[in-house]
Structure 1
Amino acid sequence: MTAQPNKAIAAIRSLIYYLVFYPFTIVYSTFCLLIGRFLSFETRFKVFTVINYSYIAWLRLCCGVRLDVKGLENLPKDRAYVLVANHQSEFETIFLLTMVRPQCIVLKKELLDIPFFGWALAMLEPIALDRSQRRGALKQLLTQGKARLEAGRPVVIFPQGTRVPVGEPGRFNKGGAMLAASAGVPVVPLAHNAGTCWPGKGFIKYPGVVSVEIGEPVETQGQSVDQVHDAAIGWLLAKMDEQLEN
């Protein structure tokens, strides 16, 4: 009987969150579309994604979702890299844009068709994959990803390809390891439990702590794609299990 009032309160708080989130997103995206063409990529990225800090602060204030991040020292400072993370909700897509700056994110092409938000997102030069064309999508990832890495931009990938519920590992593809190996850059694994507070495809946000942990870079020199993938994803899966137990 006590769970229902808590869920009801969480639902009300989530509604209030979205009543600010969506109008603010539309207005800010419109502003970004108007000024984006006049800015360099680095400045455009900073301006476009500054709103993400507000999203996270509002989420904490309105829904009681806090953040605990460990391992920031493992992010390479002097070279590009491929960051691979598990995918549970929208939270990590918001948060990672505040942590890796600037970056190139790999996403599904249809996101760019969302009015205002998607149009502004396209100006951040993501790698937008058509998931119905698997062979072409891999070629696009390797070609465009290598170009972004050579320009000094880290590439962020969700190897599961879609949001996976908490407690389910899903299937991790090898695209991130293939890209890193072909470009000669390290893979940095990142594990989180954002789905416990912000369930994927769910409306209600639950108060709690989102734990984010960044692993040590997995070097690709002298390693096969399978070795790089197994090392990065092996660490990620073990950390996901640890977060689930806690």
Structure 2
Amino acid sequence: MNLSTFFGLLFITGGSTTLGSLPVLFHHYFKESQWNWWESFGGGVMVSASFFSLLYPAYEMGGVKALPIGMLCGFAFIFFMAYLIKRLTQNIHHQRAFLFVFVMGLHNIPEGLAVGVDVAALGWRESLPLTVAIFVQNLPEGLASSMSFIIAGFRVKEALIANGVTAVIESLSAFLGHSFVSGSVLGLPFLLSFSGACMLSVVAREAWVKYQSAEAASISVSGFVVGLFVCGALDLLL
């Protein structure tokens, strides 16, 4: 891997995720209703990314057989992680934030692998549609990750660091995918379906918790729909 490829992969993956988190620097200008909207927006982004960036590509690459095992493992894994995080902290808002960012990091693994594999196999010119799509899609995802920490009561610095971790994960995955093309391709269908199930589990769990408590009114339908549409449109158009 030459230096230009290294920095190119770094910019496409980690750089875009980091850029997406920068609006949290102005979080003090947001009202509570706007916080609720952005939180729901993040849920829409996750659901859209699950279907268009993870589950559908897994189906295309591995067929129907590639989906059930990866999805079942993903659902089981998230329930286990939710239990573990609950044991570590009793703060429900912190639990949600940790789980949200954790799953975003998981979701970035197959995305990074896909970019690295595509660039290594086809070159930068032929892989341009995928790299542009991942770059643009990572912008709202980076914002959603950092916003989840701000909403949970963390400081801006902590929110940026948490999002930075997901950016590093995606960059490392891209380097790995570029270096081990054949092995990454074989494992991508499982990783894609696994991550898709993880993201869907987190959104479903969050909605259920809110409907079971007094926070049901904080769910913004318009925010969710916009997040769903924006991320889906980016995937389909690019």
**TM-score computed with the length of structure 1 as normaliser:** 0.31
Counting strand residues as a fraction of each chain, which structure ranks higher?
A: 1
- More relative contact order, 1 or 2 (CA 8 Å, 6+ apart): 2
Counting helix residues as a fraction of each chain, which structure ranks higher?
A: 2
**Larger Rg computed on CA atoms:** 1
